[in-house]
Amino acid sequence: MTTIYDIAKLANVSPMTVSRVINNTGKIKDSTKQRVEHIINELGYIPNSAARSLISKKTKLLSLILTDITNPFFTKVARGAEDKAMELGYQILLSNSDEDPVKEAAYIDMVLSTRVDGVLITPTGDDTVNELNRLTKHQIPAVLLDREIKNFSGDAVIGDSYEGSRKLVEHLISLGHNRIALINGPAAISTARERHRGYVETMESSGFPIVNNYISNINYKTDNTQNIIQTLFSLPENERPTAIFAANNFIAVRTIQALDSFGFRVPNDVAVVCFDEIGPIDNFNPFLTVATQPAYEFGQIGIQLLIDRIEKEGAHQPNKIVLPPKIIIRQSSVTNVD
């Protein structure tokens, strides 16, 4: 294995000079620097990142902790984060918490032992504030992604869940629906709370009552959608919902599958709308009406905020970036859309 001592010998300089060239520190003659760099390239030498971090106090490593990398939204987020990190000279360690606070805590342990420079995280819920406090104690900056947390005032990149929900429900009402069900995520997650708020306020402002039996909260990783659909459509025909607002893409897919298993057609019998695209799924019809979010930009902006926090010395005010959703009308709510 090539060492800086081998390079120093061939370049006829001291190991300290080689170290300064690698770390871009100290004053070195251009001719000496070029000679050392030439030998480094010839030997294919890769600097020891751990040793470099002892000098620079930076590892150039970032942790990206997502809740479900199989979700197409988070897949695109990860790609945006990785591209921006590489552009700015950083690398990413990707972790998947599976919406599990215990697993999330284990990844925070890994972060602390790995000495990453910062963390971009989609929290599993409000209790993630305890993990963020651990990072703060060790002076590791964190940026929230997609979800906010009560009692946390740091940087965040989120979508406008309230506005997206309001527009989706308004779309259904414009089609003549007033019996609209909501299948939502856990109330401990900010996006679920905001989507619930958008649903409730839009229904009320349109003069329609809130039917508690129409509202369900489920764990994103637990598939009990079949039972919810069975309960809803066991109601008398004139009391059944004619439309369903699914809080995310996976819930929407499971909802349509459950409706199909009970013989209900979408959108002829029941209209369905949701947050976020489902990605390419063969033979899946109808295509979903969605509030789509710029997932790639979520990742890019999140990494930019995190690196800004790492590299800019001194305190500065937290930044909260809110990215608006775009409503795309498709065949899951309207029969005559191509």
Statement to judge: residues 82 and 47 lie in one domain? no
Question: Does residue 31 lie within any of the structural domains?
Answer: yes
Residue type, 294: P
Taking residue 94's Cβ as centre, other Cβ atoms within 10 Å add up to 13
Instruction: State yes or no: pLDDT of 8 exceeds 80.
Output: yes
- The burial of 70, by beta-carbon neighbours within 10 Å (0-12 exposed, 13-18 middle, 19 or more buried), is given as exposed
Flag the least confident range among 5-19, 60-74, 215-229: 5-19
| Mean pLDDT, residues 171-199 taken together | 96
User: So what's the pLDDT on residue 285?
Assistant: 56
Share of the chain above pLDDT 70, in %: 91
Instruction: State yes or no: pLDDT of 92 exceeds 60.
Output: yes
Q: Which pLDDT tens digit goes with each residue over 249-298? A: 999 999 999 999 999 999 999 999 999 988 765 455 568 999 999 999 99
User: So what's the pLDDT on residue 53?
Assistant: 47
Instruction: State yes or no: pLDDT of 48 exceeds 70.
Output: no
Q: How confident is the model at residue 239 (pLDDT cuts 50, 70, 90)?
A: very high
Instruction: State yes or no: pLDDT of 314 exceeds 70.
Output: no
Question: Does residue 337 lie within any of the structural domains?
Answer: no
Statement to judge: residues 133 and 178 lie in one domain? no
Q: How confident is the model at residue 37 (pLDDT cuts 50, 70, 90)?
A: confident
H or E element at residue 120: strand 118-121
Bigger pLDDT: 189 vs 46: 189
Distance CA 142, CA 246 (A): 30
User: So what's the pLDDT on residue 338?
Assistant: 52
Q: What is the value of pTM for the model shown? A: 0.81
Per the structure, the complete domain to which residue 91 belongs is given by 61-159+294-323
Distance CA 310, CA 154 (A): 13
Bigger pLDDT: 80 vs 11: 80
Look-up of token digits 């081998």: 6
H or E element at residue 323: strand 320-323
Q: Which pLDDT tens digit goes with each residue over 24-35? A: 767 788 888 888
Exposure string over 156-182, b if 16+ CB within 10 A, otherwise e = bbbbbbbbbbbbbbbbbbeeebebbbb
Number of domains the chain is built from? 3
Strands 243-246 and 180-184: parallel
The answer to whether 292 and 328 have CB atoms below 8 angstroms apart is yes
DSSP string, 299-320: HHHHHHHHHHHHHS-S-----E
Nearest 5°: CA angle at 302, between 119 and 220? 80
- Laid out side by side, the sheet with 243-246 consists of 215-217, 180-184, 243-246, 271-275, 289-292, 326-328
| Mean pLDDT, residues 58-75 taken together | 92
Q: Look up the CATH number of the domain holding residue 12.
A: 1.10.260.40
User: So what's the pLDDT on residue 57?
Assistant: 56
Distance CA 130, CA 333 (A): 41
| Mean pLDDT, residues 169-176 taken together | 97
Statement to judge: residues 167 and 225 lie in one domain? yes
HSE-CB at 29 with a 13 A cutoff on CA atoms is 4
Residue of 92, 96, 34 whose CA lies nearest to 71: 96
Question: Does residue 333 lie within any of the structural domains?
Answer: no
- Residue where one domain finishes, among candidates 277, 293, 309: 293
Statement to judge: residues 29 and 112 lie in one domain? no
Statement to judge: residues 288 and 300 lie in one domain? no
Backbone angles phi, psi at 274, to 5 degrees: -160, 175
Instruction: State yes or no: pLDDT of 240 exceeds 60.
Output: yes
User: So what's the pLDDT on residue 55?
Assistant: 45
SS3 state of residue 175:
coil
| Mean pLDDT, residues 185-191 taken together | 94
Average pLDDT, the chain: 89
User: So what's the pLDDT on residue 282?
Assistant: 46
| Mean pLDDT, residues 31-41 taken together | 87
Backbone angles phi, psi at 205, to 5 degrees: -70, -20
Statement to judge: residues 195 and 223 lie in one domain? yes
SS3 state of residue 125:
coil
* Residue 224, both tokens: 């009990």
